[in-house]
Amino acid sequence: MRSTWVLWWADRPCMCGLFGIAASGDRKPSIGTARAAQLRDAIAHRGPDGAGLWHDARTILAHRRLAVIDPGPGGDQPMVGPRGSVLIYNGELYNDKELRAELIRLGARFRTQCDTETVLCALEQWGAEALPKLRGMFALAWYEPDARRLTLARDALGVKPMYYHIGSHEVVFCSALGPMFGVPSVPCQPFLPMVSTYLTTIRTVMGGWTMFDGVRAVQPGEVVTIDLSGDVPRARIRTWAMPVAEIALDEEAGADRVRESVSDSVARHLRSDVQVCALLSGGLDSTIVATLANGSHEALRTYCAGAREEVAEPGALDDDLKCAARMAKMLGTDHGEAIVTREHFGAQWPSMVRAIGMPLSTPNEVAIHAVASRLRADGCVVTLSGEGADELFGGYERAHDAAAEFYARRAAGDESALRMAPGRFEVQANSWMTRPVKGAVLDPRVWHALETDAWMDALGEAEYDAARGDAQGLQAHLRYMRRVNLQGLLQRLDTATMLAGVEGRTPFADAVVAQLAEALPLGCKYEAPSSSPQGDDDGGVGLAVATVLRTKRVLRRAFRDVVPRYVLERPKASFPLPFERWIEDNVDVLKRSMFARELFSSEAIATVCAAPTEHWNLAWPMVNVAMWGECHWG
C-alpha cells in the first residue's frame, strides 16, 4: 500500500510530541489513522504549532510540532528522507552546523535549515551509529519501511522523554503516557514494585521502569531497535556511552576549561527563531546561565517563581524572589515573577497529576509550571534553566557528605557498612519513606506481595552498577547521582514546562559539558569534610563559609569574576515552597481514592490525614499516588 502523509496547521508554538504504532509481520495496527490522530492530539500541548501523520499498511507515525528553528513548512514532520526512511523527532540539535558540513562533504543536499532534516540525513548516512554524533536534546522514532525496522532513541542525558510498549503483535510509543492507553493492546495497570519505589524515591521512572505494568521508558543514551519483519516484534536494546578519560588538570586549569565549555553551551542553546528567556532563582547555576545568556542575547528576560511566605527557617522569607530580583537588577534584565499562593498550589497540584497521568516528583514542580505559564503569557517560547550543574559538578553537600562517610566506613572494614550494598545505600540515603515506615504505611497484603521491597533493592543495585562503571567510592556515588537524580530533574522540567507550552533548555545538561565534568578529578568538584580547604586555598573566590567551598569547586572558580559573592555564598535553593503546610488542603483524597484504600493501611491513612504537616514526608508521596490512582482506577 502506498504511504500517505497528512498535515494540519495551527497558529501557536509549543513543545513537540511523538506518537506511533507499528504492527509486526503482515498485520495491521489495532487502530486506524483517525484514532491515531486523536491520540496524537491528546498531547497537543506539546506542539500545537503543527501536526503531521504518515502511514503505510502496517505503521502509523504521528507528530505535534514546535516550530523553533525554520518555522516554515520545510520543517514539517513526519519527514521522509531521500532513501525512504521516516523520522519523527522531538528536540534541538546544538551541533547542527558542524554535522551538516560533514554530511555535505559526504554528498548530502539539504533543502531546509531545520535540524530535523540534519538528524534524518545523519541516520540515513550512518544508521544508529549517528546517534552519538548528535549534540543536543532529543527523543526520536526512525522507521525504515523496506527493512521493517523501528528505532527509538533518546539523548545521552535524557532531556526529552519517550515511552513504549511492546506487545505480542505491535509496538506503541509516545512522548507521554496517557495516549498509549487509548490503544487496545496497551494495558492500563499499576506496576506495584515501581509504585513502592516511588514512595521511597519520588521517582516515577527508574532504570527504564514506569509505574504502569508493561510500559517502559527509553533510558538516556539508549537505542531500542525493533525488528517488525516476523510475526512477533523483536527488540534489541543497547546504549552508547560518552568516552571519558580523567584529565590531569589542577583546579585553575580545570576552571578555564569549564568556563569555555559552559559558555559555548549557553551560546548554542540560545539558537532559536522564537523568543528565548532564562529562569533565574538567584542561585549559582541559574545566575551563571542568565549572565552568559545576557551577554550575547539582546533584551534577555528573566523569571523567578516563589511564595510570599516563609519557606524554610525564620528569615528565609521569599529568598529566591529577593535574590533573583537583586541579580536581575545587576544584569539589567526585564524580570518577571510568578507568585505561588496556597490556593494556587492546592488547585494546580491535582490538575497537573490529571494532565500528565502520573504523580508529581517534587513540590516545586508546581512552581516551575507557574513560572513557565507566566513567561509563556509574555510571549516567550523557550527558556534556559540551570538543571544539571549539581549532578555534574558535585553540588549536593548533604548527600555527598553522607556518601563520603558511608564509603569511608566500608573502606575501614566497618561491618554495618559492609552489610549494606552500595545500591541500597544510594536509594535509602535520600528516601522519603524508610523501609520500617513503609511496612506500616502499606497494607500488609501489599507489603507481603512486594517481599519487603526486594525488587526495589535489586533495581537500586542494578542502577548503581550501571552508573559506576569502573569507579569506586565517592566517584561512583557522583556517577549514580548523574544517572538517577539528573534524569528525574530533567523529567520534572520537561513535564512542568511542556504543560505550559514552553521548551526548557539546559546548557549544563549538555553532552560536551558532561563529558568534561566527568573527566575532571573528584577534588575539582567536591571535597569531603576531612579534607575541606583551609586558609587561602579558595581559588580567590573569597567565600566566608568553608563548607560552601566543598561543592562545585571548579564551577565557582570558573565564574568567580562574574558571579557576585552573595550568590557564591548562598545555600542551595530551587523555587522552594512551604508545601508542608499546604499539603493538608488535598489530603482528603487518601480517604476518597479506592486505589489508595487498597494500597495503604487504614492506620497510615488516618495518621497522615490527622497531621499531614507533621508527616509531610509521608503525605507528599501518598497523596500523589492517591491522586494518580483516582485518575485511572478510582
Same domain, 351 and 380: yes
Q: Which helix (H) or strand (E) holds 580?
A: helix 579-582
Has residue 577 been placed in a domain? Answer: no
- Which parts of the chain register pLDDT below 50? 1-15, 312-318, 532-547
What pLDDT score was predicted for residue 67?
Answer: 59
Same domain, 79 and 46: yes
Number of domain units in the chain:
2
Q: Which helix (H) or strand (E) holds 141?
A: strand 136-144
What pLDDT score was predicted for residue 470?
Answer: 86
Same domain, 220 and 298: no
Has residue 376 been placed in a domain? Answer: yes
Same domain, 381 and 516: yes
What pLDDT score was predicted for residue 606?
Answer: 98
- Report in angstroms the alpha-carbon separations of 527 from 42, 232, 552: 48, 52, 9
Peptide bond into 507 cis (omega under 30): no
* Angle (CA) 481 470 429, round 5°: 30
Same domain, 26 and 162: yes
What is the span of the domain harbouring residue 352?
251-394+487-525+537-569
Same domain, 232 and 100: yes
CB 348 within 8 A of CB 374: no
Same domain, 162 and 89: yes
Same domain, 232 and 278: no
CB 289 within 8 A of CB 385: yes
Has residue 196 been placed in a domain? Answer: no
Same domain, 142 and 272: no
What pLDDT score was predicted for residue 2?
Answer: 35
Domain stop point among 207, 239, 271: 239
Same domain, 62 and 161: yes
d(CA 519, CA 385): 23
What pLDDT score was predicted for residue 532?
Answer: 43
Same domain, 235 and 350: no
Same domain, 151 and 280: no
Has residue 467 been placed in a domain? Answer: no
In this structure, what CATH number is given to the domain that contains residue 17? 3.60.20.10
**Amino acid letter, residue 455:** W
